[in-house]
A and B are shown apart, each in its own frame.
Chain A
Amino acid sequence: MGLTPGTRVTVVKSAPFHGPLEVSVRGSRLALGRGMAERVFVEITE
């Protein structure tokens, strides 16, 4: 889904109760379940 190493990812918001994250990747909007989001390793840039 475009989450490849080195991609800039912006977390827009998260649903309550430990819900999925809304992230913006390559100009598109993805919903990522926690299980999936936990497997994405990021480096904070800003």
Chain B
Amino acid sequence: MTEKKLTIALAGNANVGKSVIFNQLTGLHQHIGNWPGKTVEKAEGTLHFKGYTIDIIDLPGIYSLSTFSLEELVSREYIAVERPDLVINIVDASVLERNLFFTLQLMELETPMVMALNQIDMAEKKGIRIDHKKLQKILRIPVVPTVAIKGTGVYELLERSVEIIEKGGINPPIIKYGEEAEERIREITKLLEKIPFRYPARWAAIKLLEGDEQVEKEIREIGPETLSTAERLAKEIEEIHGHSCSTIITSERYEVAGKIAREVQQIVPKIRPPMGETLHTITTHKILGYPIMVLAVLTIFQSIFTFGDYTSGLLSNLLYGWEPLFEGLLGTGIVKELVWGGIVEGIIAGVTVALPYIAPFYFILYLLEDSGYLSRIAFLMDTLMHKIGLHGKAFIPVMLGYGCNVPACLGCRIMETERERLLAAFVTTLVPCAARTVIILGLVGAFVGVQWALALYIIDLLVIFLLGRLAFKALPGEPTALIMEMNDYRFPHLKTVGKQTWFRLEEFIKISFPLIIIGSLVIKLMGILNLLEPIANILSPVTVTWLGLPAITGITLIFGVLRKELTLIMLATLLGTTDFARILTPLQMIVFTLVAMLYIPCVATIAALVKEFGWKKALFITVFEIIFAIFVGGITLRLLILTEV
């Protein structure tokens, strides 16, 4: 007998422990993809329970660090159109009122539901006691208290879910609005019931009164007269209350949420402020907050670079050790050159960056996000980021950029509008990633002096700031202000963090590896066809005349497109020495490093830009940065000569 299939969706605000519950339920049987045509992530997993094969869909969390309205759209579309057998609403018990607001909205979608009252232990620590039986009675859906991190209540949650599905589901109650609104909702509902619409009629009626753009758009096509009636009725409500109709409906929803919350929760005085509170006070402190942040960030970078440098060296020694093997198999001819030098070296290049640097970077970043510290950093950095037309959240991709620009570009998804995503992505491509740090430290730091390396970093920060500001002025549109929830600090769930790291790493590999390999092949071919010399000569007006560098650097800069630190490695290979002081003057080193730092996002970053913003914008950013780097390089050269440093 084949097992019966069920689909259960998880829905809830972000940071309520939804992904932890998802992991507890599905274990290793999960995969992450994108919702069709959207940049919103879709996580799916399966489990077997009491003779059922259950598909679990993790709907995107809303109101989070990574919020934009797309996520809400995806969630409700899924619930209304795909009709899962049941929705598990995961609720943070310590902020019940805000979470209930979302619960009420879910109920309006008229779907069978079970509630997981999560982090009940944290709520108790905060002095909040919740009578879940009473809550269950009021909402008329099963409410299961859970502590997801420990796995408490997860089994019962599943049991109750299956029970509800077997019983054929209960229709959740529908909240009643004020009579003025209710009357009009009924009127629109009646009209909507006559047209075939994929959402529940009452829900759609409420959304029309709220002025929901998506619903309006869809109704306009199938029932324009219903839309105009709704608009007229919304105006009537506005006239009665003196507020916009959406404000009134939202307020009423909150009022109901507040009333329920007050009825079921009991605040007991806490004996002493919990540790999280103290931590929050210190880490967002006016004065103390900043040194703590700088210290934390520097410690993270320092340890990642130390770890990365060590493992990267270890890995490349190991992997390059395979060369004789390939020689033995393919001889030393052109085939081996292409296979080894093109494909395998390309893979090695990717591996030696991805594993040592990017994996730990992601891991620590998710640790910080899960614990709640990232939102505090965003809070502290808001003012500064506003100078370049972004808000505090944009600091997160910028920070990511110091590790690698590829995840940073993808990380820009946390920004709310397309304009801000583009602006943030542009800024992050200028952030010196791990590879660029190798050049700065390996060339300027080692041969010219640490103070010059530091100066380059400062110049880069200035460039980021100035270009960011310019781009902000040039792009049409208003900057959005920061609005973000700062959840209580909590102990991160390592398994969830580990999984997120893995999925990100997978994404990185998918985007960047093919391009790094193709790029390596192309350059290898150019070498075999003896094209490198002529290209260096073609570039010499720029490299020699304008930048004052040896012609050979033209070739290395081309290699740098693959991976920035290749500029340095190739320089050593082509010059036949690692003692760069013999070939380059300090001045040349500074100019070379500056250009290498700014001149182009590497091929993997370009791919990420194309993926997120389309090839036109990616091309524009690339071309702009090449011209800009050459310009700045030449100017710096002349300035330094003038000042005779």
Contact = CB atoms under 8 A, between A and B. Distances in A.
Contact of B284 (A1, A5, A15, A33): A15
Contacts of B251: 4-6
Nearest to B241: A5
A17 interface: yes
Interface string B76-94: 0000000000000000001
A33 B247 contact: no
B258 to A, nearest CB: 7
Nearest to A17: B383
Interface in B431-448: none
Contacts of B312: none
Given A22-B284, A26-B97, A34 B380 contact: no
Most chain B Cβ neighbours within 10 Å, of A29, A33, A34:
A33
Given A4-B251, A13-B284, A27-B96, A33 B258 contact: no
A27 B482 CA distance: 19
Interface in A1-45: 1-2, 4-7, 13, 15-20, 22, 26-37
B118 interface: no
A25 to B, nearest CB: 8
Contacts of A1: 63, 483, 485
Contact of A4 (B95, B254, B289, B378): B254
Contacts of A22: 284, 379, 486
B386 interface: yes
Given A13-B284, A33-B386, A27 B375 contact: no
A20 B392 contact: yes
B98 A32 contact: no
B382 A31 contact: yes
B286 interface: yes
B247 A19 contact: no
Contacts, number: 97
Interface residues of B, number: 39
B379 A26 contact: no
Interface in B343-395: 375, 378-380, 382-384, 386, 391-392
A8 to B, nearest CB: 10
A30 B485 contact: yes
B614 interface: no
Interface string B189-211: 00000000000000000000000
B382 A20 contact: yes
B484 interface: yes
Given A7-B254, A13-B286, A20-B392, A28 B382 contact: no
Given A5-B251, A15-B286, A27-B96, A36 B481 contact: yes
Nearest to A29: B486
B173 interface: no
Contacts of B383: 15-20
20 contacts: A5-B247, A15-B284, A15-B382, A17-B384, A19-B380, A20-B379, A20-B382, A20-B383, A26-B258, A29-B487, A30-B483, A30-B485, A31-B378, A31-B379, A31-B382, A33-B386, A33-B391, A33-B392, A34-B481, A36-B481
Given A29-B487, A33-B391, 18 more contacts: A1-B485, A15-B382, A17-B384, A19-B380, A22-B379, A22-B486, A26-B95, A26-B254, A27-B95, A28-B485, A29-B488, A30-B483, A31-B486, A32-B482, A32-B483, A35-B386, A35-B480, A36-B482
Interface of A: 1-2, 4-7, 13, 15-20, 22, 26-37
